[in-house]
Amino acid sequence: ALELAEEMVEELWDAGLPGDLPELEPECRSLLAAFAEGSAALTGCLGRRARPVRLCQGCHGHYRRLLAEYGSIARAFGNSSESHNCAKSILTSDRLQIVVTLSEFFNETWEAANCANCLKNNSEGLSNSTEEFLDLFNKSLTCFEHNLQGQATDLSPNNYTEVCKNCNETYTKLNDLYNHLQRMNRQGGEAAHSAHLCIDVEDAMNITRKLWSRTFNCSLPCSDTVPVIAVSSFILFLPIVFYLSSFLHSKQKKRILILPKRIQSNASLVNIQEKYS
C-alpha cells in the first residue's frame, strides 16, 4: 500500500499539480536523492565504527562527499524562476527542514569527534602523525597478543610478566608519542574542542592503557627517578635542618646575652676597688 501511494504521488508530481503546490524539478530530485544516499552511507559508517571508535579514519570519505552533495543543493538553481530554486525547495520550504537538520547533525558529530585533528588539511587522508600513532598502536596490540599466546601454558593466568617485559619498549614509544601529540595540539589549538586529539586516537590510547595497567598489571618505569628521590630526600631532611638550626641559633643567642652581664660585673668590681683604695 505504501509503495502504491508513493507511485501515485510521483505520478501527480509528473502530471503537474494545480494551485500553489510547488513542483520539484528533476535536477532537484537528483540532488536530493544523492544527499539521501550520502546520509545513509555516512550513518552506516558511523554506526559500524562506533566501537571500537574508528570514525575519523573510516568515514572521512563519506563525510567529504556529503559536504559536496549539500553544497550542490545550496548552490543549485533550476530554472531562472525563483519557484524552481533547488536550495529553496529542498532546504527551506518547510518548518522541519530535514536536510538542514541532517547536515547540522553530521557536522556537529564530526566536530565533536575532532576528526580534523587526525586528517590532512584537505581531509583526504590521515595525517602523518596519526598514521605513525596507529602503526605503533597496532604493533602494541600485536605484541600483547603474541606474548599472551606464549604464556598460554602457564598455570597462573594472571602472570603477565612476559607481556610487561617484551612489550615495554613498544608501549613506551606509543605513550610518549601520544603525550607529545597532546602537547603539540594544545599549543596550536584555538577553540576549546581543539585541545583534544581526535576520538580515534584518544580511544586507542585509552584501550591500550587499560590493557597495560589493569589487565596485565604492568607499570611504566619513571624516567625522572633520580630527581624525584632527590626532592623527596630534601623534603625529609627539612625538619632535621630546621630543628638543628633552631638549636644552634638559640644557643648562640644565650651566649650573647650572658656576655654583657660578665662585662658589667667586672666593671663594678673595678669601681669598688678604686673607691676603697
- pLDDT tens profile 51-81: 999 999 999 999 999 999 999 999 865 444 5
CB 218 within 8 A of CB 163: yes
Q: Model confidence over 20-40: pLDDT tens digits?
A: 445 678 889 999 999 999 999
End-of-domain residue from the set 53, 86, 113: 113
- Same domain? 151 vs 99: no
Report the alpha-carbon distance of residue 110 to residue 49 in Å, rounded.
Answer: 13
In a domain, 259, yes or no: no
* Strand, coil or helix: 96: coil
- Same domain? 19 vs 93: yes
Q: What is the pLDDT of residue 103?
A: 96
CB 75 within 8 A of CB 217: no
In a domain, 200, yes or no: yes
What's the domain range around 145?
128-215
In a domain, 119, yes or no: no
Report the alpha-carbon distance of residue 57 to residue 135 in Å, rounded.
Answer: 13
CB 208 within 8 A of CB 137: yes
What are residue 95's phi and psi, to 5 degrees?
A: -70, -35
pLDDT band, residue 190 (cuts 50/70/90): very low
How many domains is the chain built from?
Answer: 2
Q: What is the pLDDT of residue 25?
A: 84
Residue 174's nearest CA partner among 210, 138, 219, 213 is 138
Report the alpha-carbon distance of residue 56 to residue 127 in Å, rounded.
Answer: 11
Rg (CA), the chain: 38
Residue 36's nearest CA partner among 25, 24, 44 is 44
Report the alpha-carbon distance of residue 6 to residue 243 in Å, rounded.
Answer: 93
Q: How many CA atoms lie within 13 A of 97 on its CB side?
A: 11
- Same domain? 3 vs 108: yes
Q: What is the pLDDT of residue 216?
A: 94
pTM: 0.68
- Same domain? 132 vs 88: no
